[in-house]
């Protein structure tokens, strides 16, 4: 060993590497263990690698309501869309917001993507419709007594035939315990007056005068009415799909036969009296006095007038015609009964729990969303192409890694060992974290993300190069390896931090402002940049310190990559000494 010229490094700095390294490796093993324990051994694959359909929608605000595109509204839209897509029997479809105004719908391979596209492509419609008839959610033989005449109001002349024949009745009437469901037990009353004595929900008000009420059928609608009646009778609400189809796409002015969302009741509903946009806001709250969940809603100015008039009419009706149905996409979410004329703000009470109250409030708020959605891109990838792309990505990664390793070995020789170990550690960490992020935050590895990971090989290796070159500079100054490794570190560390920070900044900005594929790329790049810092600090540096104690490196073996002679180190400043006796073989390679 050469003269330890500047041996004033605090010994402590070199005493810790072993511990750091062990702790780091334990953390790594723990992470990997977590991965195996969680059962997610591979990263979740994106649509472009696994196959499937991916739809990107862009929110458009109604004119004059540009502020409507905000996080709360987008989240509501996502939850409604989720309900629609998954309600269609499309399993595992995934709906998420992306950026500030996009919604991505990913539909895995093997589900009916066309139908799903239709579902998410059309705007959800929320209407308040008066209930004309109620029955259990299965095909009925005799019509309930109250029925006879579905609406004859303004829309009646063009209604009936708009209703497509509903799905084939299924032979097994599902005998649900509560045929009339939650919807019917909901009561509606004026907000702020929680008078417990109001009519029990669903019960006709004793004093109401049935005579003034039901719409009278006009002659020319008879056929339409009969048809609707038939539809209603055969309507089967037992499956998700049939429920969704029952009144899907119906117009506001139609009289429709519809299912309740839970499938336990079906209704004939009159033309819409109030639109979703008439609702200003809705929220689920606990009524302190009664200790139960209720949904409060406020109407807009126009909405309150309509609401006042409809509740005025309905409150005089017999059950079930004193109810109105809140129908989203033709499915009845709730059908509270009305016992008095109500104005601008109202509350719906009934047998809600937190979840159902929140659901209803969401539906009501969504109806108030002044948003519509536009299809931006639709990508369908077959499983075969997805697999091909994944393969290609992996091969490209392998080639890239191999090239980098070859270059490092040729140039840095023994030092390359440190670099390769660090790269491998980085790769393992990246893989494990990606696998864990799948279930944790819904991270899905897509092609750009694979690209990002490959590009990151370069970034990670660059950090080692910065450090190695620093060490070599120190050796050229005539230092021996141990002090060189320690002296080079603070400077290399600063360079690495600054440049990694810039990389990370780029990735973060990209991630925040961009959408779609760019985001996946930015995410991986940011992740790997962070991991790069972690690995260099907690792995590469300690390993370097440990290796500096090994003879092979410390003596500057010609294959160590640290041979002072090859590096052209000046002879140590004390002119008496020559460079350490490395196996002299200077001509080699």
Partner 1 sequence: MSRLGHLGARLYRGEVGYDFVGKRKIWYGISILITITAIVGLAVRGLTMGIEFEGGAVFTTPKTSATVAQAEDVAQRASGHDAIVQKLGNKGLRIQISGIDTNKSDAIKTELSKELKVPAEDINADLVGPSWGDQIANKAWTGLIVFMILVVIYLAIAFEWRMALAALVALIHDITITVGVYALVGFEVTPGTVIGLLTILGYSLYDTVVVFDGLKEGQRGLTKQTRFTYSEMANKSLNGTLVRSINTTVVALLPVAGLLFIGGGVLGAGMLNDISLSLFVGLAAGAYSSIFIATPLVADLKERDPQMKALKKRVLAKRAAAVAKGETDEPQDAEPQDEAEAETAGAVVGQRRQPSRNNRGKRR
523-542 positions binding partner 1, by CB under 8 A: 525
CA distance 134 to 267: 5
The residue among 489, 502, 584, 469 whose CA lies nearest residue 540 is: 489
The angle subtended at Cα 248 by Cα 187 and Cα 123, nearest 5°, is 90
Nearest-approach distance from CB 357 to partner 1, in angstroms: 36
Cα four-point dihedral sign 65, 66, 72, 77? positive
Which one of residues 209, 513, 549, 584 is an interface residue with partner 1 (CB under 8 A)? 513
CA distance 318 to 145: 12
Nearest-approach distance from CB 542 to partner 1, in angstroms: 19
Q: Which is nearer to partner 1, 49 or 368 (CB)?
A: 49
Which one of residues 551, 568, 577, 578 is an interface residue with partner 1 (CB under 8 A)? 568
Q: Which is nearer to partner 1, 421 or 510 (CB)?
A: 510
Site for partner 1 contains 307 (CB under 8 A)? no
Nearest-approach distance from CB 170 to partner 1, in angstroms: 28
Site for partner 1 contains 509 (CB under 8 A)? yes
The angle subtended at Cα 331 by Cα 326 and Cα 333, nearest 5°, is 45
CA distance 392 to 254: 54
Structure tokens at 413: 């020789």
- Contact region for partner 1 (CB under 8 A) — 30-38, 275-283, 286-294, 494-502? 494-502
Q: Which is nearer to partner 1, 24 or 443 (CB)?
A: 443
The residue among 396, 410, 512, 406 whose CA lies nearest residue 456 is: 396
- Contact region for partner 1 (CB under 8 A) — 126-134, 215-223, 254-262, 566-574? 566-574
Which one of residues 187, 448, 556, 580 is an interface residue with partner 1 (CB under 8 A)? 448
CA distance 5 to 559: 24
Nearest-approach distance from CB 153 to partner 1, in angstroms: 34
43-82 positions binding partner 1, by CB under 8 A: 48, 56, 58
152-191 positions binding partner 1, by CB under 8 A: none
Cα 203 to Cα 39, 267, 338, 502: the distances in Å are: 52, 17, 10, 68
- Contact region for partner 1 (CB under 8 A) — 305-313, 332-340, 356-364, 492-500? 492-500
Nearest-approach distance from CB 285 to partner 1, in angstroms: 38
CA distance 556 to 258: 84
Nearest-approach distance from CB 410 to partner 1, in angstroms: 5
The residue among 296, 294, 292 whose CA lies nearest residue 283 is: 296
Q: Which is nearer to partner 1, 282 or 562 (CB)?
A: 562
SS3 274: strand
367-406 positions binding partner 1, by CB under 8 A: 374-382, 384-385, 388-389, 392-393, 395-404
413-442 positions binding partner 1, by CB under 8 A: 413
Nearest-approach distance from CB 396 to partner 1, in angstroms: 4
570-589 positions binding partner 1, by CB under 8 A: 570, 586, 588-589
Backbone angles phi, psi at 143, to 5 degrees: -75, 145
List 281's β-bridge partners, or say none: 298
Structure tokens at 195: 């008078």
Site for partner 1 contains 96 (CB under 8 A)? no
Nearest-approach distance from CB 68 to partner 1, in angstroms: 18
**Are the beta carbons of 318 and 204 closer than 8 angstroms?**
yes
DSSP string, 141-163: SSPPTT-S----STTGGG-GGGS
Nearest-approach distance from CB 536 to partner 1, in angstroms: 14
- Contact region for partner 1 (CB under 8 A) — 74-82, 322-330, 358-366, 448-456? 448-456
450-479 positions binding partner 1, by CB under 8 A: 451-452, 454-455, 457-459, 461-462, 465-466, 469, 472-473, 476-477
Q: Which is nearer to partner 1, 201 or 393 (CB)?
A: 393
- Contact region for partner 1 (CB under 8 A) — 208-216, 268-276, 484-492, 539-547? 484-492
The packing angle between helices 517-535 and 414-441, to 10°, is 130
**Are the beta carbons of 353 and 34 closer than 8 angstroms?**
no
**Are the beta carbons of 167 and 245 closer than 8 angstroms?**
yes
Nearest-approach distance from CB 375 to partner 1, in angstroms: 5
Query: What track of x and - describes contact with partner 1 for positions 104 through 123 (by CB under 8 A)?
Result: ----------x------x--
CA distance 375 to 81: 13
287-306 positions binding partner 1, by CB under 8 A: none
CA distance 430 to 422: 12
CA distance 356 to 348: 12
Query: What track of x and - describes contact with partner 1 for positions 2 through 31 (by CB under 8 A)?
Result: --------x---------------------
Nearest-approach distance from CB 589 to partner 1, in angstroms: 6
Nearest-approach distance from CB 472 to partner 1, in angstroms: 7
Nearest-approach distance from CB 23 to partner 1, in angstroms: 24
CA distance 368 to 299: 9
CA distance 132 to 141: 18
């Amino acid at each position: 060993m050469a003269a330890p010229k500047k041996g004033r490094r605090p010994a402590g700095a070199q005493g810790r590497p072993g511990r750091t390294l062990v702790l780091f490796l334990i953390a790594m093993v723990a992470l990997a263990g977590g991965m195996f324990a969680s059962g997610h051994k591979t990263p979740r694959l994106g649509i472009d690698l696994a196959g499937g359909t991916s739809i990107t929608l862009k929110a458009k605000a109604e004119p004059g309501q540009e502020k409507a595109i905000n996080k709360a509204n987008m989240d509501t839209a996502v939850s409604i869309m989720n309900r629609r897509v998954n309600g269609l029997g499309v399993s595992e479809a995934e709906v998420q917001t992306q950026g500030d105004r996009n919604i991505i719908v990913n539909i895995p391979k093997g589900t009916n993507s066309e139908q799903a596209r239709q579902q998410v492509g059309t705007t959800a419609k929320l209407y308040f419709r008066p209930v004309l008839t109620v029955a259990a959610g299965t095909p009925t033989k005799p019509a309930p007594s109250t029925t006879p005449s579905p609406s004859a109001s303004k829309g009646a002349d063009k209604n009936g035939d708009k209703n497509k024949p509903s799905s084939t009745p299924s032979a097994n009437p599902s005998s649900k315990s509560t045929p009339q469901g939650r919807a019917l037990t909901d009561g509606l009353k004026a907000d702020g007056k929680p008078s417990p004595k109001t009519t029990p929900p669903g019960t006709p008000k004793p004093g109401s005068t049935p005579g003034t009420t039901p719409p009278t059928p006009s002659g020319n609608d008879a056929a339409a009415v009969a048809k609707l009646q038939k539809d209603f009778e055969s309507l089967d609400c037992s499956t998700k799909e049939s429920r969704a189809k029952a009144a899907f796409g119906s117009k506001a002015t139609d009289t429709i036969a519809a299912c309740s969302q839970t499938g336990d009741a079906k209704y004939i509903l009159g033309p819409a009296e109030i639109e979703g946009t008439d609702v200003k806001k809705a929220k689920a709250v606990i009524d302190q006095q009664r200790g139960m969940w209720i949904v409060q809603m406020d109407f807009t100015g126009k909405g309150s007038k309509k609401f006042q008039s409809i509740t005025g009419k309905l409150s005089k009706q017999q059950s079930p015609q004193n109810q109105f149905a809140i129908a989203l996409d033709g499915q009845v979410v709730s059908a509270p009964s009305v016992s008095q004329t109500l104005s601008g703000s109202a509350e719906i009470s009934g047998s809600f729990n937190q979840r159902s109250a929140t659901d209803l409030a969401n539906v009501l708020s969504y109806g108030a969303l002044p948003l519509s959605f536009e299809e931006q891109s639709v990508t369908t990838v077959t499983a075969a192409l997805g697999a091909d792309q994944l393969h290609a990505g992996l091969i490209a990664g392998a080639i890239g890694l191999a090239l980098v390793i070859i270059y490092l070995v040729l140039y840095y020789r023994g030092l390359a060992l440190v670099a390769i170990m660090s790269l491998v550690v980085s790769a393992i960490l990246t893989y494990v974290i990606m696998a864990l992020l799948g279930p944790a935050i819904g991270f899905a590895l897509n092609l750009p993300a694979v690209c990002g990971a490959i590009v990151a090989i370069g970034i990670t290796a660059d950090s080692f190069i910065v450090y190695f070159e620093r060490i070599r500079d120190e050796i050229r100054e005539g230092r021996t390896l141990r002090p060189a490794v320690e002296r080079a570190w603070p400077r290399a560390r600063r360079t690495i931090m600054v440049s990694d920070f810039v990389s990370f900044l780029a990735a973060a900005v990209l991630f925040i402002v961009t959408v779609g594929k760019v985001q996946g790329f930015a995410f991986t790049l940011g992740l790997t940049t962070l991991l790069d810092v972690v690995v260099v600090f907690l792995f590469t540096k300690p390993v370097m310190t440990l290796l500096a104690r090994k003879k092979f490196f410390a003596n500057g073996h010609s294959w160590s990559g640290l041979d002072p002679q090859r590096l052209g180190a000046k002879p140590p400043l004390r002119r008496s000494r020559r460079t350490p006796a490395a196996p002299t073989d200077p001509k080699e390679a």
